Amino acid sequence: MTKILPVIMCGGAGTRVWPESRDSLPKQFIPLVSERSTFQTLLEMLKDPVFEKPIVLTNIDYRFLVQDQCRAIDAEADIVLEPMRRDSGPAVAAAAEMAAQRSPDTVVIVFAADHVVQNRPKLVRICKEAASAAAKGAIVTLGIKPDGPATGYGYIRAEQPVASGSEIRKVQEFKEKPDAATAEKYVAAGYFWNCGYFVFRADVMQEELGRFEPEMLEAARGAVANARKDLAFLVLEAETFARAPKKSIDYAVIERTDKLALIPADIGWSDVGAWDAVWELSDRDADGNSVRGQGVVMEGRNVHVRSDEHLTAVVGVDDVIVVTTQDAVLVVSREHSHKVKQLVDHLKATNRREASEHKRIFRPWGYYQSIDSGARHQVKRIVVKPGDRLSLQKHFHRAEHWIVVKGTAEVDRDGERHLVHENESIYLPIGCVHRLGNPGKIDLELIEVQTGSYLGEDDIVRIEDVYNRG
């Protein structure tokens, strides 16, 4: 049996399912269609013995999210950090280099962290067959039978299977993201969608990158060679990685190589590219309505309501998506759900915080959540995980008052250590050097009241930090 090295692309922002997915917490880390995130669901599948310990390639901003989600399901992974986003081409090139360092004939499969696969056992079986073909020198893509003329996917025309008893097919043509009229022709002609899963031998991918994108290959090699360890992470060297052309692996290699093969993959695949896809993947009642959380639908059909905290009622409306978060409400027809990305672009252009950040901001030690704010005050809820602690820090413009709601806080203040218990508080004046930690076995929860002339998050001087943040 050919062992397979999984590489998980985990750095995207997923703005099409805003307001749940934002830059600060993108869709691969959100339980959109089940109780676990799509990233965690993929990790669970990769516990099959055919797979080696996966490499997770992610944005440096998401390193602790990846780590926490792995720990939550007892999954192991090598976490590699991209210093900046350069699209999937340089990421795959770096993965191929890391795989080749183990052995040039290492078989790699590239997955996207934010996709849904409903038939995971079948996907594992398909991966095994694809790996056998890849071991012989093919670059194998998994082909999805289209359910309509979508313009957001690459289309692939493939021959009949190369041998009896095999599903592997030689690719005749690969076309990236056609217009609507062309997509209709492709669907009628029996083309497949490219789902973005690729299986290849490390040296074969390097050979093709050398043919088509030598600059990308050399940049990736240099970034890996000069990578540094940072806590449990491997950080690709930034200056060298930045030289790689910003290009997807589809454009860089897949649509240009003559080594491409396809295996049909009827696996219940979706890239969850918009809210209508979430509705399609969700359990629905007899009227086609899907409700998650605190939602109610009356006299409506084909409605999707998602509201984890607030009661959200929809009455007498059909074919609509309603998503409620702590700080935003989205109402969009299912027909126009693909336009949410345009909405997010507009919100970013008008400098709306809600476009990119949730009220709940995750940190390596836990999270904080804004409760109230005014001209000279801000109130936050802070949760610190057991055994974790914030940086040793000070502020120039704000004082802080901490009230412990649950657990016990260990507070360093100007060189003195204090234990603050439930229903107790401590005051931190402007300029004092302080640190908050949780020495207990349960989450520490406290209310922070900030007062001062400037309350921005950049009013912080980190003196010492166990997470190596600047």
Q: Is residue 469 part of a domain?
A: no
Same domain? For 66 and 146 the reply is yes
CA atoms within 13 A on the CB side of 53: 9
Place of tokens 């052995």: 103
Listed residues 338, 353, 368: the one ending a domain: 353
Q: Is residue 470 part of a domain?
A: no
Same domain? For 154 and 296 the reply is no
Non-local CB neighbours of 49 within 8 Å, separated by 6+ positions: none
370-400 per-position pLDDT tens digit: 999 999 999 999 999 999 999 999 999 999 9
Q: What is the CA radius of gyration of the chain?
A: 24
**Burial track 293-305 (b if 16+ CB lie within 10 A, e otherwise):** eebebeebebbbb
155-173 per-position pLDDT tens digit: 999 988 877 778 899 999 8
216-230 per-position pLDDT tens digit: 999 999 999 999 999
Place of tokens 């670059």: 139
Q: Are 33 and 42 in contact, with CB atoms under 8 Å apart?
A: no
DSSP 8-state class, residue 53: P
Non-local CB neighbours of 280 within 8 Å, separated by 6+ positions: 270
Question: 3-state class of 178 per DSSP?
Answer: coil
Domain at 210, CATH number: 3.90.550.10
Same domain? For 189 and 71 the reply is yes
d(CA 59, CA 336) in angstroms, rounded, equals 30
d(CA 164, CA 62) in angstroms, rounded, equals 45
Burial (Cβ within 10 Å: 0-12, 13-18, ≥19) of residue 169: buried
Q: Write down the pLDDT at residue 340.
A: 96
Q: Write down the pLDDT at residue 12.
A: 83
Same domain? For 239 and 324 the reply is no
Question: 3-state class of 302 per DSSP?
Answer: coil
d(CA 290, CA 249) in angstroms, rounded, equals 36
189-212 per-position pLDDT tens digit: 999 999 999 999 999 999 999 999
- Long-range Cβ contacts of 324-328 (<8 Å, 24+ apart): 325/19, 325/20, 325/358, 325/359, 326/358, 326/359, 326/360, 326/369, 327/19, 327/354, 327/358, 327/359, 328/18, 328/19, 328/354
Same domain? For 266 and 338 the reply is no
Q: What range does the domain containing 314 cover? A: 275-353
The residues facing 370 across adjacent strands are 380
Pairing of the two strands 304-315 and 290-298: parallel
Q: Write down the pLDDT at residue 409.
A: 98
Mean pLDDT (the chain, rounded): 94
Secondary structure (DSSP) of 9-37:
E-----GGGTTTSBTTB-GGGS-SSSSS-
At 348, is the pLDDT very low, low, confident or very high (cuts 50, 70, 90)? very high
Domain at 380, CATH number: 2.60.120.10
Place of tokens 């309603």: 322
Q: Is residue 214 part of a domain?
A: yes
447-463 per-position pLDDT tens digit: 999 999 999 989 999 99
Same domain? For 141 and 260 the reply is yes
Same domain? For 244 and 334 the reply is no
Identify the CA nearest to 91 among candidates 57, 142, 42, 140.
57
**Burial track 218-254 (b if 16+ CB lie within 10 A, e otherwise):** bbbbbbbeebeeeeebbbbbeebbeebeebbbbbbbb
Listed residues 270, 299, 327: the one ending a domain: 270
Listed residues 255, 270, 285: the one ending a domain: 270
Q: Is residue 388 part of a domain?
A: yes
d(CA 320, CA 358) in angstroms, rounded, equals 23
Q: Write down the pLDDT at residue 14.
A: 80
What is the pLDDT averaged over residues 432-452? Answer: 97
265-306 per-position pLDDT tens digit: 999 999 999 999 999 999 999 999 999 999 999 999 999 999
Q: Is residue 128 part of a domain?
A: yes
Q: Is residue 218 part of a domain?
A: yes
Q: How many domains does the chain have?
A: 3
Q: Write down the pLDDT at residue 159.
A: 87
Same domain? For 208 and 139 the reply is yes
Q: Write down the pLDDT at residue 470.
A: 65
Residue type, 136: K
Q: Are 377 and 449 in contact, with CB atoms under 8 Å apart?
A: yes
